[in-house]
Amino acid sequence: MKSTWQLQQAKNQLSLLVEDALTKGPQTITRHGKPAVVVVAATDFVPPRRKRKGIVELFAPLKGSGIDLTRVRDYPREVKL
């Protein structure tokens, strides 16, 4: 069968659409003649992953700005109450 569905047709034949996605691969649903979404089997779906930024990348925009970002390793001053 086809791999492109109009939105109304996909609504009316959802079970067939799901079956085709499971057996024949990704199925495209169009809205107003333009591709809107793709239905894929859960086993074929790979969620996008964001790369976690380290502390170096977090402060990278400040590099060269003249701000001193070195860690102070002194003991804190004493407070008298």
What pTM was estimated for this model as a whole? 0.59
Reported as a single tens digit per residue, the pLDDT across 8-31 is 999 999 999 999 999 999 999 999
**Reported CATH class of domain 1-45:** alpha beta
Question: What integer is the mean pLDDT of 42-48?
Answer: 91
CB 38 within 8 A of CB 29: yes
Q: Nearest 5°: phi and psi at 22?
A: -75, -35
**Strand order in 34-39's β-sheet?**
4-6, 27-31, 34-39
Q: What 3-state DSSP class applies to 36?
A: strand
Residue 60 confidence (pLDDT): 73
Rounded Cα distance between 15 and 9, Å, is 11
Q: Point out which residues pair with 31 in neighbouring strands.
A: 34
Mean model confidence pLDDT for the chain: 87
Domain positions in the chain: 1-45
